[in-house]
Amino acid sequence: MMPETNLTAFDHASWSSQQIVDADASSVMHTYARQPLQIVRGVGMYVYDTQGKDYLDFTSGIAVCGLGHCHPALVEAVTDQVQTLWHMSNIYLTTPQANLAARLTEVSGFDRVFFCNSGAEANEAAIKLVRRYSKKKYGAQKGEILTFANCFHGRTIATVTATAQPKYQEGFGPLPGGFRYVEDFTIDAVLAALTAKTCAIMIEPIQGEGGVRPVPPDFLQALRAFCDAHHLLLIFDEVQTGVGRSGAWLAWQRIGVKPDVITMAKSLAGGLPIGAMMATEEVASAFTPGTHGSTFGGNPVAARAALAVLDTVMAPGFLEQVRRRGQQLYGLLCDLAMKYDVISDVRGMGLMWGLECKGIDAVSVMNACREHGLLVLTASGNTVRLLPPLIATSADIEKAVSLLDEAIKEVSA
């Protein structure tokens, strides 16, 4: 028997803004420092709040809505798929997943893919794969993975341990073993962390949450050679940099250093949850039936959305345009840095940029931007972070920088 309740109909559509704020405050766990904004709609580069006020979105839902909001190609693909097939277990084949796997391996330069639902899960899969491969090939002692100061690899217990930042780990012990941290981007620092148990090195080619810090390409080159010399696997976490963000489909293709394993998520399905871990045939062979799995991974709706994203991003001229807009944004941000000495550095690549602030708080700049109708993010190291949708036009970039200019002027006055 169902218990009696006096809730007859749950009419959530007619809730007032205050009811939403109250329900969030009383019922959702307090893991997020919420911005005082309820977004109800998004179109292209803009989102709209409950009052109908528009905001130029330079966050893309933290590098997720790479094609902006409600892109017609995504709406069409997802609408068709939800009327066809939503879900089947991975013990059966589905067309969108197979199509996506074929396209993804082709454009990413890897032989095989494992599908999951998020960045942390993609990294978990990579951690499991490199350990299993290395134990089989080099012995049971192999299992340690090196990661770098300021990195971010996710919030699960293994990926938060991989994340070499105490603030993300505090209070969650005992943490699993098997990770050692490299102090800086030098081979000497890598050597200092290396042990006989090391099996892999995991790195973001551009650190995102850690402050938008591109790793020097010559260090990545040296790291590749180091891994080869020491029989280590190289994993690139491209959860944030992948799917066109760097100005190439994957940042490794722009930098010219190819890892053995790669992880992606965020904008792969443009706003639906998906993650992908890719590897060479040889490394992928360490996974056999039953060794890893996911209920939702590569779900038909998410896979169909990802196919639409992939087709759009890989269409002729798209990535060239991202690189061009990235150069434009970099130039304008450098002008801002010349104008305001509270900006101490401009870092990034493609359409992923950070403005390091000194003497003013990056959070205050973010809040002032919001008041002016521009959404931006922050990152570690007192950094304002810009992650516009990849569809940004020249006019969008100019408008965003002019709003940012006003915000910095106000905050630094």
Residues that bind ligand PLP (CB under 6 A): 118-120, 123, 152-154, 204, 208-209, 237, 239-240, 265
> Which residue number, 104 or 408, has a Cβ lying nearer to ligand PLP?
104
> Which residue number, 360 or 379, has a Cβ lying nearer to ligand PLP?
379
Closest residue to ligand PLP, judged by C-beta, is: 119
51: exposed, middle or buried (Cβ count in 10 Å: 0-12, 13-18, 19+):
exposed
Lookup result for tokens 């992948």: 242
At closest approach, how far in Å is the CB of 148 from ligand PLP?
11
Report the distance separating Cα 149 and Cα 300, nearest Å: 37
Lookup result for tokens 């550095």: 345
> Which residue number, 343 or 362, has a Cβ lying nearer to ligand PLP?
362
At closest approach, how far in Å is the CB of 306 from ligand PLP?
14
> Which residue number, 44 or 244, has a Cβ lying nearer to ligand PLP?
244
Q: Are 242 and 310 in contact (CB under 8 A)?
A: no
> Which residue number, 118 or 408, has a Cβ lying nearer to ligand PLP?
118
Report the distance separating Cα 227 and Cα 222, nearest Å: 9
> Which residue number, 123 or 368, has a Cβ lying nearer to ligand PLP?
123
Tokens of 110: 């890897």
- The DSSP output letter for 107 is H
Q: What is the DSSP string of 294-356?
A: -SSTT-HHHHHHHHHHHHHHTSTTHHHHHHHHHHHHHHHHHHHHHH-TTEEEEEEETTEEEEE
At closest approach, how far in Å is the CB of 357 from ligand PLP?
21
At closest approach, how far in Å is the CB of 308 from ligand PLP?
20
Tokens of 43: 């179109």
At closest approach, how far in Å is the CB of 208 from ligand PLP?
4
At closest approach, how far in Å is the CB of 144 from ligand PLP?
19
| 318 Cβ neighbours under 8 A, 6+ residues apart | 244, 312, 390
Q: Are 165 and 151 in contact (CB under 8 A)?
A: yes
Tokens of 164: 């070499």
At closest approach, how far in Å is the CB of 203 from ligand PLP?
10
> Which residue number, 340 or 353, has a Cβ lying nearer to ligand PLP?
353
